[in-house]
Amino acid sequence: MAQMTMIQAITDALRCELKEDENVLVFGEDVGVNGGVFRATEGLQKEFGVDRVFDTPLAESGIGGLAIGLSLQGFRPVPEIQFFGFVYEVMDSISGQMARMKYRTGGAFNAPVTIRSPFGGGVHTPEMHSDSLEGLVASQPGLKVVIPCTPYDAKGLLISSIRDNDPVIFLEHLKLYRSFREEVPEESYTIPLGKADVKREGTDLSIFAYGAMVHESLKAAEELEKEGHSVEVVDLRTVQPLDIETIIASVEKTNRAIVVQEAQKQAGIAANVVTEITERAILSLEAPVLRVTAPDTIYSYPQAEAVWLPNYKDVMATAKKVLTF
Amino acid sequence: MASNNNIFDPVKNLKEIEEKFEMVQILNENGEIVNSDLDPQLSDEELVELMSRMVFTRILDQRSISLNRQGRLGFYAPTAGQEASQIASHFALEKEDFILPGYRDVPQIIWHGLPLSKAFLWSRGHFVGGQIPEGVNVFPPQIIIGAQYVQAAGVALGMQKRGKKAVAVTYTGDGGSSQGDFYEGINFAGAYKSPAIFIVQNNQFAISTPRESQTSATTIAQKGIAAGIPSIQVDGMDPLAVYVATRDARKRAVAGEGPSVIETVCYRYGPHTMAGDDPTRYRTTDTDTEWEKKDPVVRFRKYLEAKGLWNESKEAEVIEQAKEDIKAAIKEADGVEKQKVTDLISIMHTDELPYNLKEQYEIYKEKESK
């Protein structure tokens, strides 16, 4: 075991997989000798060589095409998109191409690609760096979308993502890269995709969250406990497909739920969670399922992040509405 | 101002560059060798095989149009006029080479090993059409114009990493050369010096938009300069010129010298696709007639007849064979089971189905059992 930040856990997962499977290739803009703009691939080129870990020209669409082509030659590509706001440049390669690879060839070919990309607010990045665009990719059949919120989860989920034989979008929240350390096993381990994790048990209300919002929800749960409310916090971990079993079991226990996301209300995946709950557990509900989200504007100017991004206070306020409905 | 300066004259620079991209021709419209230095010296058997494939493909086009009109085929992008460009470029490839075709490039993947019945199923819209047999190194036709180019750069890099002596070959049209993925594809392959051949079939029109409206560049071949890779413009109605350009690009690629761009100047006699396009709206009969004189099948026939390698009965034999094969393939396609939703769900993922699809599979299985 070692104390690791999330970014170290990610590097460690990449190292494990580069070692484990010679078909694993890591590439993107500045991921080689530079070790990535956030040091996520630090030391990997030195250890595994320029053949396995390499830089690309500055073109996201080309990176996506490269990943698809390398898949067709039996490789297991792990490309990086420097910031997920740049995903628009590569939407065709992701949604129009690799997501459909298996289907359009009737199973003849597959694309075992894991796209790593940072996103998320709270660190005053320039425009188009922090946008939460997981909702875009979550709506594309053929993709799985994974968003870890702890170093331990990040390592196990990334190894699972890389081993998955179909495309996975692995989104890394910028604010969580180095915000805390956690014990992470040094050896390889996996966490199944599509499995949520109950980060805190409770009986009065279920909070479903992912990414940085898990920590805001945990903070809110602590505060709410002081006021006598027992709150369960479920980290979705994979936002597509959802872990319906865990979600519904929690709602059936607490009978009240909210969904917390950093994305705007019209974006993200919160609406999907609400719909699944109403379709499957409406008779367990004692109150409507409410959402905590950002407002439906373009992502905030850096200086307005503090008033724009949802935080634990918003979670508390919405939780109380549901608790007192 | 600058153009008056002897030292720096960008207008002159451009002209000089463009003059370097003169169209290469080996066989003229009368079937005469006009550039014997470049004659590939194909054996008699090879010449006859190439001609047979071109004739077969012309028949395939005629039959496909007619089957489409009868409702027995679906999506179809006519190929008549492009036989030299498509078939002679393919003729320069080896089995290990990987083809990433555009939607008009079905003939190349058929000659590379895709069964004709699957090509017809692809046209109709059946998943079995996309099930490429193992060992046949092709991808299904790409609908997103340009996507095949960035993917080819990836396939080529993969081959390089595997140490294969093979190339990735991809095709687009003149309109496709305006796409971002076109530039990214050739530029990535150039940056990695990977074994790719990028063929641009300049058939003069992107649906109704003439080639001149795509770019001010006088050739599409010169776009290779932007990637710093060798490029050439050839007479795309001349099978020998197309063959030589592709063969040479392949040689350079497998020798580790990187990718190439080949522009084939050709013409499609038919509409853009069979989905209601009417070329008389944007093309004159004069232009059609002018290009008909350049017909690749006609000029190659003349060439081979003069060499005593081809005659009417040989051609009739190929035509007969093509018609029989097409008939058999359509029959085979007719016999393929209809698609069910459960089939479509089953081909979504390699690993275990996610919960939503598991649920939906059961729902549709129930529905299908009634």
Q: Which of B132, B155, B181 sits opposite A69 (nearest CB)?
A: B155
pLDDT digits (tens, 9 = 90+) for A145-168: 999 999 999 999 999 999 999 999
The interface predicted TM-score of the complex, written ipTM, equals 0.96
Interface contact A249, partner B, CB < 8 A: no
What is the structure's pLDDT at B7?
A: 75
Contact B51, B300 (CB under 8 A): yes
- pLDDT over 90 (residue B6): no
- B161 neighbourhood in chain A, CB within 8 Å: 25, 51, 70, 73, 75
Q: What confidence tens digit (pLDDT) does each residue in B170-194 have?
A: 999 999 999 999 999 999 999 999 9
Query: Among B116-125, B158-167, B282-291, B346-355, whose mean pLDDT is lowest?
Result: B282-291
| pLDDT of B4 | 55
Largest CA distance in chain A: 59
Q: In what order do the strands lie in the sheet with A231-235?
A: A197-200, A231-235, A205-209, A257-264, A290-294
- Is some CB atom of chain B closer than 8 A to the CB atom of A62? yes
Cβ contact, residue pair A106, B128, below 8 Å: yes
Interface residue A55 vs chain B (CB under 8 A): no
Chain B partners of A22 at a C-beta cutoff of 8 Å? none
Mean pLDDT, range B235-251, rounded to an integer:
98
Instruction: With CB atoms and an 8 Å threshold, state whether B154 touches A67.
Output: yes
What integer pLDDT is reported at residue B5 of this predicted model?
A: 55
Q: Residues 155 to 184 of B: which have CB under 8 A from any A CB?
A: 155-159, 161-162, 168, 180-181, 184
Structural domains of chain A sorted by starting position, each given as residue range(s) with its CATH number in brackets: 2-184 (3.40.50.970), 197-324 (3.40.50.920)
Query: Catalytic amino acids of A?
Result: 129
Best mutation target, B157, B159, B182, B339, to test chain A (most A CBs within 10 A): B157
Residue B128 pLDDT class (50, 70, 90 cuts): very high
Contact B281/A at CB under 8 A? no
Q: Is A110 on the interface with B (CB under 8 A)?
A: yes
Task: Give B330-337's long-range contacts (Cβ < 8 A, gap of 24+).
Answer: B330/B67, B330/B72, B330/B117, B330/B120, B332/B115, B332/B117, B333/B117, B333/B120, B333/B121, B333/B124, B333/B126, B336/B117, B336/B121, B336/B126, B336/B128
Q: Å from B189 to nearest chain A CA?
A: 9
CA distance A149 to B235: 58
The pLDDT, as a whole number, for residue A1 is 83
Q: What is the mean pLDDT of residues A194-214?
A: 98
CB distance A24 to A161 below 8 Å: no
Q: Does B191 contact chain A (CB < 8 Å)? A: yes
Answer for the pair B94, B104: CB distance below 8 angstroms, yes or no: no
d(CA B177, CA A28): 25
For residue A61 the two structure tokens come to: 């669409």
Which residues of chain B have a CB within 8 Å of the CB of A240? 354
Q: Per-residue pLDDT for A294 more than 90? A: yes
Chain A, 190-219: which have a CB under 8 Å from a chain B CB?
194
Question: What pLDDT, in 10s, does the model give residues B152-164?
Answer: 999 999 999 999 9
Average pLDDT, chain B: 96
CA distances from B208 to B77, B212, B271 (A): 14, 12, 10
Of A64, A75, A241, the CB nearest to B150: A64
- The pLDDT-based confidence of B217 (bands split at 50, 70, 90) is very high
- Tokens 């082509």 locate to A69
Chain segment A40-82, per-residue pLDDT in tens: 999 999 999 999 999 999 999 999 999 999 999 999 999 999 9
Contacts of A64 in chain B (CB under 8 A): 150
> Is it the case that residue B3 has pLDDT exceeding 70?
no
The minimum CA-CA distance between B213 and chain A, rounded to whole Å, is 25
What chain B residue is nearest to A240 in terms of C-alpha separation? B354
Reported as a single tens digit per residue, the pLDDT across B198-209 is 999 999 999 999
- Using the predicted structure, report yes or no on whether residue B267 has a pLDDT greater than 60: yes
Residue in chain A nearest B130 by alpha carbon: A105
Report the residue from A66, A107, A241 with minimal CB separation from B153: A66
pLDDT at A102 over 70: yes
Q: Could you tell me which residue, B1 or B77, shows the higher pLDDT?
A: B77
The predicted structure's pLDDT at residue B8: 85
